[in-house]
Amino acid sequence: MSVEVLGGWGGTPVCLTEIHEIKTQLPVDAQAKSQSIIARGLGRGYGDCAINGFGITANCQSINQFTMADGVLDAEAGASIDEILRVVVPRGYFIPVTPGTKFVTIGGAIAADVHGKNHHKDGSFGNFVIELDLLIADGTTHKIGPSINPKLFWATIGGMGLTGVILRAKIQLTPIETSKILSTNVICSNLEVLMDEMIRADEFARYSVAWVDTLAGGKHLGRSILSIGDHATEVDLNLRLRKTPLKYSSKQLITFPGIPINGLLNRFTVRVFNGLWFQKARLSKKKKTISLDSFFYPLDGIGNWNKMYGRDGFIQYQISIPDNSAHLIRLILEKFSEQRIPSFLSVLKRFGPQGDGMLSFPSKGWTLAVDIPAGVEGLGELLDELDEKVVEAGGRIYFAKDSRMNSRYVKEMYPLIDEFRDVKRTVDVHNVFQSNLSRRLGL
């Protein structure tokens, strides 16, 4: 056990918390000691979902063994997508849903019910969980799945770790012929063009994502690069690559110092960076075969990139909006552009139908994710104003990214919250599983 200062990926907020390693049992008899616990994986949740200032943060990284048979992954919760890909890709499989970083654990991916660039086709991570082992507050472990105790299962998928500690899970993997992605970049000069292209891409593209330059305004508002792709088949590869179609290596290009550096990110540097990104896309081939890493995890190439935002840290504002309120995307981008918020390329994605997770984030329509330095003057007020519009439109905020939303919107954003609370009450009578997020929002 150690007491440490801990935060999320955004570096804000931070708190002092007791850190315990977790293996197969709860670190303490939490019920008897009325101490609270939240499980934590690799700490890629941006806000306060995996910190517990008032109790124990249970580190799951040491339970990371996994095996694979017939395309089914059987992994302990602390195994990361990174570790898993190194083993399964050369054997012809890929993780069915992947977030924009491979440094997430299986437990974290389930607890946040993460989505990927294929949500419009395949849905979220929870769709591929065959079963999982959940350690609940009374110290017992339960096997749950879509057909074994489904209520508890769907409360746990996207449940932010509040039903218990996920210890193990079986995941259906996706077969692949090669370790390459056949990717196409479409440069879109403004938001209209982009949104039309994206809706069109829903039909044929397995993976699609757009990088939006948030600083561009006026007639360039929504200037973006739409990146579309699918797993390359063997015939797509050139002769050299065809010799080792499943070869997979992954390395970090550079690593940032572990300490935050102030003043690196401002309107000027971000403008230059965004400009270069577009120039690179313009100059490179539109259609090409690239590695899994460069397609799915461009930012993973830079270790500790979160430290770039300086001591104040940053937040990610990620919202989903139904199709019929797509105009809100424009309004939000206009606000950010007007206030000249220095944000690196923001991400716009399509969502398919909502899954069964009670607190799962993805729901049919659009999702926009914007990284914003936390020190920006007036940011709280601006985001509060946007939240109101998002709620009115029937949209929601992603708990895994949030560190600031108003608790009064929870019910409107997540209509199944009461059902979730009912399930939680039955398995966690004394409310042992808590995080800063759950207390802040009263989940």
CB of residue 219 to another protein, shortest distance in Å? 32
> Do the Cβ atoms of 433 and 50 come closer than 8 Å?
no
48 or 213, CB closer to another protein? 48
39 or 182, CB closer to another protein? 39
51 or 329, CB closer to another protein? 51
CB of residue 53 to another protein, shortest distance in Å? 3
Biggest CA pair distance of the chain = 64
State both tokens at 422.
């009912």
Please choose, from the candidates 48, 87, 30, 45, the residue with its C-alpha nearest in 3D space to the C-alpha of residue 64: 87
88 or 162, CB closer to another protein? 162
CB of residue 259 to another protein, shortest distance in Å? 12
> Do the Cβ atoms of 56 and 31 come closer than 8 Å?
no
CA 56, 59, 65 angle in degrees (round to 5)? 150
185 or 316, CB closer to another protein? 316
Give CA–CA dist 440/101, Å, rounded: 26
CB of residue 6 to another protein, shortest distance in Å? 9
CB of residue 405 to another protein, shortest distance in Å? 8
316 or 367, CB closer to another protein? 316
> Do the Cβ atoms of 198 and 229 come closer than 8 Å?
no
CB of residue 248 to another protein, shortest distance in Å? 35
53 or 100, CB closer to another protein? 53
Q: Is the peptide bond before 13 cis (omega within 30 degrees of 0)?
A: yes
360 or 434, CB closer to another protein? 434
Neighbours of 158 (CB within 10 A): 28
> Do the Cβ atoms of 111 and 166 come closer than 8 Å?
yes
3-class secondary-structure state, position 171:
strand
State both tokens at 128.
């591929």
CB of residue 123 to another protein, shortest distance in Å? 28
Q: What is the CA radius of gyration of the chain?
A: 21
CB of residue 54 to another protein, shortest distance in Å? 5
Applying CB under 8 A, which residues contact another protein?
5, 10, 12-17, 47-48, 51-54, 311-313, 315, 374, 379-380, 402-404, 406, 436, 439-440
DSSP letter for 197, please.
Answer: H
Distances (CA, A) of 377 to 71, 78, 215, 380, 404: 49, 38, 17, 8, 15
Neighbours of 281 (CB within 10 A): 17
> Do the Cβ atoms of 163 and 132 come closer than 8 Å?
no
CB of residue 225 to another protein, shortest distance in Å? 28
16 or 299, CB closer to another protein? 16
Give CA–CA dist 117/125, Å, rounded: 12
Give CA–CA dist 253/266, Å, rounded: 23
